[in-house]
């Protein structure tokens, strides 16, 4: 039995050796109590030498410093991906196990991560917290805002094709382009069997069968 589990069970059993004078919360060790009390006092005695950010506990500082060093000591045994802390590894492992503990109260859809649930819920609330400083347009996700902002700086195309060096503003367009080099044409017409690298090209082709003419001249 791990020491963490032993300490946790003591809380259920009522064996709390120390309690906080501020809020009454009980702790199984004196060190846990001292760490908790720093939260009330705002005392952050551990500082990062790189950026001077401060932390309540040394363990928090160690995890933070990995952001500067790039150290990721926790590997996923399923896919080999590495993480800076065990908490992020545990969240990642849910992708392999299929566990989705977070469910949307509106539609019942389930998610492996709490952050994914929060982003999903914006569909129901209409919340768009990320706004463009140039034009004021708002977005549900920060990455959508970053992609949009490149439209204000036309020269910014950070995603380049390793085959021909053609550049794109977002990864989705790059992935669609890469299919040309791979020879893959995953989108096929059910009427004639002709295949296309992009869904948009397939949609345009289908109009030759349906006779659809969606673009009307206003004149």
Average pLDDT estimate for 23-41: 74
Question: Do 158-212 and 102-149 fall under one CATH topology?
Answer: yes
Q: Which architecture does CATH list for 158-212?
A: 2-Layer Sandwich (3.30)
Give the residue among 201, 198, 175 at the shortest CA–CA distance from 185: 198
Identify the pLDDT of residue 162.
Answer: 80
Flag whether pLDDT at 27 surpasses 60. Answer: yes
How does residue 1 score in pLDDT terms, banded at 50, 70 and 90?
very low
Does the structural domain 102-149 have CATH classification 3.30.160.60? yes
As a whole number of angstroms, the distance between CA 17 and CA 15 comes to: 6
pTM: 0.40
What's the pLDDT tens digit per position in 34-90?
Answer: 777 776 666 677 788 888 788 877 888 888 888 888 888 889 888 888 888 888 888
Of 130, 152, 133, 131, the residue nearest 141 (C-alpha): 130
Domain extents in the chain: 58-97, 102-149, 158-212
- pLDDT computed for residue 8 by the predictor: 59
CATH class of 58-97: alpha beta
């Amino acid at each position: 039995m791990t020491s963490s589990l032993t300490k946790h069970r003591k809380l259920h059993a009522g064996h709390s050796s120390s309690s906080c004078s501020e809020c009454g919360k009980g702790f199984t060790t004196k060190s846990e109590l001292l760490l908790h009390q720093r939260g009330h006092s705002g005392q952050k005695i551990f500082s990062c030498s790189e950026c001077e950010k401060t932390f309540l506990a040394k363990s928090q500082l160690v995890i933070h410093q990995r952001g500067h060093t790039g150290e990721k000591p926790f590997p996923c045994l399923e896919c080999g991906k590495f993480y800076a802390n065990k908490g992020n590894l545990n969240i990642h492992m849910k992708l392999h196990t299929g566990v989705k503990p977070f469910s949307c109260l509106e539609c019942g859809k389930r998610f492996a991560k709490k952050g994914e649930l929060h982003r999903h819920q914006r569909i129901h609330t209409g919340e768009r917290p990320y706004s463009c400083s140039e034009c004021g347009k708002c977005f549900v996700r920060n990455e959508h805002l970053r992609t949009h902002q490149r439209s204000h700086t036309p020269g910014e195309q950070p995603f380049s094709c390793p085959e021909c060096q053609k550049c794109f503003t977002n990864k989705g367009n790059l992935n669609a382009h890469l299919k040309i080099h791979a020879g893959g044409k995953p989108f096929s017409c059910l009427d004639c069997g002709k295949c296309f690298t992009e869904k948009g090209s397939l949609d345009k082709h289908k109009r030759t069968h349906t006779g659809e003419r969606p673009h009307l001249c206003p004149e």
